[in-house]
């Protein structure tokens, strides 16, 4: 009897407690959102204070040599690990002086911000190679500085439009929507806003600079093999061993995923792709040649989207290396490091293919290779 009355009493108190907490929480959320929107609306440019360390360091090194550089590669690890600018230039007989400005996890829409910051408006860049890649899956990186800085109201609406317009499987679209919603809420409720405030007040801390970055010497290129040999990082060793153990299964799966090419065209154009086209048009209007690359080893759902993007980029050269029937060499053990990346040997092969196609395009510009090879 006593236990039952205690339970009822506890239950009632608990209900009151929860209702008070919810009311208070709603008030707080409102206040925090207003405060944060006001602070962020000062709209100051702290792009490079928020960007990924590796990318910032690569960009710093690039700036030191900027007057000599006329060609850049931009994208994720599939560009960073797989295109050697030095080899590329040697194959182009001195016509280009290239730099690999790609970094792991540099995906749209953040990668478009980087292109705008680093390339748009420069007068020394003649050509830009941009990876066609899926948008970033930020479900686990929602609190990373670069993503926080990148997201804003417009981009969030673009992502909602993207989730609505594209033919991605429903679960993937829900995942994208949830991830970007958390990121958006995280930023505009004020999480981590102190960084923006201290930067605005010019109270930046004494940063301890990272040293021994070993990606700079090869003009931004650093193959996975070289990194493995140099650093002996545990996660890299594990990735490599897992691949070597199951390489047949992984390679067969990759071939199957990239052979299944459903090039779906649709009436609706998503905002992410239209932003990319606008960006490419702007670069082109500045006299820069824009070339897109679809690297090998995609997953089926992303490949379908990339093929759709390729079909929208009719004005531009799109080098597509994903088809295993055309490029079987990217789907064998000799050229692979792990499930999604080429090794140093594979990178050499890919770089040569890109250089060959680039040369051919320079000599026969009307040989529109959107339909290449």
Sites of contact with another protein (CB under 8 A): 3-4, 6-7, 9-11, 13-14, 16-17, 20-21, 28, 31-32, 35, 143-145, 189-194, 197-198, 202-206, 208
Return phi, psi of residue 173, to 5°: -65, -40
Q: 59 in the Ramachandran plot: left (φ > 0), alpha (ψ -120 to 50) or beta?
A: alpha
Q: How far is the CB of 266 from another protein (least distance, A)?
A: 37
**For residues 71 and 84, what is the distance between their CA atoms, to the nearest angstrom?**
12
Minimal distance in Å, beta carbon 159 to another protein? 21
Please identify, using beta-carbon distances, which residue of 155 and 187 lies nearer to another protein.
187
Nearest approach in angstroms of CB 195 to another protein is 9
- Give the H/E segment covering residue 73: strand 71-74
Nearer CB in complex with another protein: 59/196: 196
Would you say 36 or 66 has its CB closer to another protein?
Answer: 36
Beta carbon nearer to another protein, 143 or 311: 143
Least separation in angstroms between CB 152 and another protein: 18
Quick check: helix, strand or coil at residue 371? helix
* Nearest partner of 340 among 294, 293, 296, judged by Cα: 296
Q: Are 94 and 360 in contact (CB under 8 A)?
A: no
Tell me: cis bond preceding 109? Omega within 30 of 0 counts: yes
**352 class by beta-carbon count within 10 Å (0-12 exposed, 13-18 middle, 19+ buried):** middle
Nearest residue (CB) to another protein, 28 versus 237: 28
Q: Min. distance of Cβ 30 from another protein in angstroms?
A: 11
* Minimum distance from residue 16 beta carbon to another protein (Å): 6
When computed from its CA atoms, the radius of gyration of the chain, rounded to whole angstroms, is: 24
For another protein, which is the closer residue by CB, 205 or 366?
205
């Amino acid at each position: 009897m006593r236990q039952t009355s205690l339970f009822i009493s506890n239950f009632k108190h608990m209900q009151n407690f929860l209702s008070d907490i919810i009311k208070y929480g709603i008030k707080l959320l409102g206040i925090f959102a207003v405060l944060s929107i006001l602070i962020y609306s000062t709209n100051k440019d702290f792009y490079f204070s928020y960007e990924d360390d590796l990318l910032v360091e690569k960009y710093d090194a690039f700036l030191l040599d900027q007057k000599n550089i006329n060609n850049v590669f931009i994208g994720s690890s599939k560009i960073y690990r797989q295109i050697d600018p030095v080899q590329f230039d040697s194959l182009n007989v001195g016509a280009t002086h290239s730099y690999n400005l790609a970094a792991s996890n540099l995906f749209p829409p953040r990668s478009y911000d980087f292109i705008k910051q680093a390339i748009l408006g420069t007068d020394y860049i003649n050509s830009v190679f941009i990876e066609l890649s899926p948008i970033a899956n930020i479900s686990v990186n929602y609190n990373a500085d670069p993503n926080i800085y990148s997201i804003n109201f417009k981009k969030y609406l673009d992502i909602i439009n993207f989730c609505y317009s594209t033919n991605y499987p429903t679960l993937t679209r829900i995942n994208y929507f949830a991830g970007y919603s958390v990121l958006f809420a995280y930023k505009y409720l004020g999480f981590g806003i102190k960084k923006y405030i201290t930067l605005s007040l010019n109270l930046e801390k004494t940063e301890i600079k990272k040293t021994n970055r070993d990606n700079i010497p090869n003009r931004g290129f650093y193959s996975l093999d070289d990194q493995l040999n140099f650093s002996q990082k545990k996660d890299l060793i594990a990735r490599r061993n897992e691949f070597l153990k199951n390489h047949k299964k992984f390679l067969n799966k990759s071939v199957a995923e990239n052979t299944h090419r459903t090039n779906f065209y649709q009436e609706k154009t998503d905002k992410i792709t239209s932003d990319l086209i606008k960006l490419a048009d702007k670069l082109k209007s500045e006299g820069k040649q824009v070339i897109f690359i679809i690297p090998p080893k995609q997953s089926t759902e992303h490949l379908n989207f990339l093929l759709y993007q390729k079909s929208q980029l009719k004005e531009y050269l799109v080098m597509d290396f994903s088809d295993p029937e055309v490029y079987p060499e990217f789907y064998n053990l000799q050229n692979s490091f792990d499930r999604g990346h080429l090794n140093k040997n594979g990178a050499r092969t890919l770089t040569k293919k890109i250089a060959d196609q680039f040369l051919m395009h320079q000599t026969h510009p009307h040989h529109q290779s959107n339909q290449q090879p």
